[in-house]
């Protein structure tokens, strides 16, 4: 993929047995993950119907996924639970320069696991791997743990440092015991140790949680910032960069993230039962160029701080948080403006 092309040759300094050794290594461009919240499944699960309802007013059809079907002026179906859609998403991601999906965890046969199960079955992944975000739903270490560890063994599961399975854990939602057990059965299976990334926006709480689960790095799902309908730029990109620096100041490894939007108006107009959004908690949509520039800034930040970003990866919020406001997936009528802009940054 274009985002894996060699970028430059950089001095590598190693202290071994008290002797300073300077060599050269080829620094690669960071790998790029995109968060998937796969609720776009219609009547397979009540959440699917709720988010369809959020996007049904005609003013929000523009941000519905490319596989949507307009039923009427104020009604839309957004149902991506078929192999052809998943394969097209993989192809779009490949074009964009994304390396892997970061998939919100839901238990097997819950309905909300439908898309990841289809992804695992599809023939055409176009080189797009996947990783898991724990903490978005109940995870049973005894039944779900062995399944996930088996996924770690597969080539399509995203690794860092060549062999370490990449696992995101949403702050304080998964117990220390569960992570310890998962690490134990993972090592017993012959896998390399899991690279655990604790996710949380507040640097103090996420650092504390990272210590409790012995995480390797910290990150966040998104930056929750808003200004009562003001502009996306410069507020959101600036606050992301502030959070990157705050996370780095803890002394821990960081996986920086790119918030592509905070236009939560559909959820303000039609509240959902699983979360609450205040009436002023939204910004205007970002332009494709603003999103692409923010991705470029994130790449630059990693390049500037290589010792704090050893996993050499970043996370985009999000591929498909359409009603929450963070998305880069092509939208109705195959509008690819956002991935076209990001393509110009990631594919050289």
CA 142 centroid distance within chain: 26
* pTM for the whole structure: 0.92
**Rounded Cα gap, residues 220 and 9, in angstroms:** 30
Contacts of 202 (CB under 8 A, 6+ apart): none
Q: Are 254 and 206 in contact (CB under 8 A)?
A: no
Over the range 51-88, which residues count as b (16 or more CB within 10 Å of their CB) and which as e?
bbbbbbbeebbebbbbbbeeeeeeebbbbbbeeebbbb
Q: Identify the CA nearest to 204 among candidates 218, 224, 214.
A: 218
Per the CATH hierarchy, to which homologous superfamily does domain 30-346 belong? Glycosidases (3.20.20.80)
CB neighbours of 70 closer than 8 A, spacing ≥ 6?
61, 76, 332
| Domain layout of the chain by residue ranges | 30-346
pLDDT tens, the chain, 348 aa long = 333 333 333 334 333 333 333 333 345 889 999 999 999 999 999 999 999 999 999 999 999 999 999 999 999 999 999 999 999 999 999 999 999 999 999 999 999 999 999 999 999 999 999 999 999 999 999 999 999 999 999 999 999 999 999 999 998 889 999 999 999 999 999 999 999 999 999 999 999 999 999 999 999 999 999 999 999 999 999 999 999 999 999 999 999 999 999 999 999 999 999 999 999 999 999 999 999 999 999 999 999 999 999 999 999 999 999 999 999 999 999 999 999 999 999 996
- Per DSSP, the residues of 226-243 read --TTB-STTHHHHHHHHH
Distance, CA of 166 to CA of 159 (rounded, Å): 5
DSSP 3-state of 244: helix
């Amino acid at each position: 993929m274009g985002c894996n092309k060699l970028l430059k040759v950089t001095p590598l300094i190693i202290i071994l047995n008290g002797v300073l050794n300077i060599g050269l290594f080829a620094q690669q461009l960071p790998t790029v993950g995109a968060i998937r919240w796969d609720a776009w499944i219609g009547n397979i699960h009540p959440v699917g119907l709720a988010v369809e309802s959020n996007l049904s007013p005609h003013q929000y059809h523009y941000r519905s996924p490319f596989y949507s079907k307009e039923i009427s002026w104020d009604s839309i179906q957004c149902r991506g639970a078929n192999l052809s859609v998943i394969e097209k998403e993989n192809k779009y991601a490949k074009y964009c320069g994304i390396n892997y999906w970061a998939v919100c965890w839901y238990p097997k046969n819950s309905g909300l696991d439908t898309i990841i199960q289809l992804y695992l079955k599809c023939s055409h992944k176009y080189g797009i791997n996947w990783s898991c975000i724990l903490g978005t739903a109940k995870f049973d270490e005894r039944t779900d743990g062995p399944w996930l560890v088996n996924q770690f063994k597969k080539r399509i599961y995203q690794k860092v440092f060549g062999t370490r399975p990449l696992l995101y854990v949403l702050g304080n939602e998964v117990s220390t015991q569960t992570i310890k057990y998962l690490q134990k059965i993972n090592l017993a299976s012959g896998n390399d140790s899991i690279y655990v990334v604790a996710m949380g926006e507040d640097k103090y709480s996420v650092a504390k949680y990272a210590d409790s689960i012995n995480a390797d790095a910290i990150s966040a799902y998104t930056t929750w910032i808003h200004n009562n309908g003001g502009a996306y730029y410069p507020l959101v990109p600036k606050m992301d960069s502030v959070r990157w620096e705050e996370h780095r100041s803890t002394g821990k490894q960081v996986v920086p993230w790119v918030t592509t939007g905070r236009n939560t108006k559909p959820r303000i107009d039609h509240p959902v039962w699983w979360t609450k959004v205040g009436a002023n908690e939204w910004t205007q949509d970002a332009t494709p160029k603003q999103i692409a520039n923010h991705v470029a800034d994130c790449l630059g930040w990693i390049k500037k701080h290589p010792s704090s970003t050893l996993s050499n990866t970043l996370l985009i919020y999000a591929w498909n948080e359409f009603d929450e406001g963070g998305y880069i997936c092509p939208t109705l009528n195959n509008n690819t403006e956002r991935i076209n802009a990001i393509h110009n940054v990631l594919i050289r």
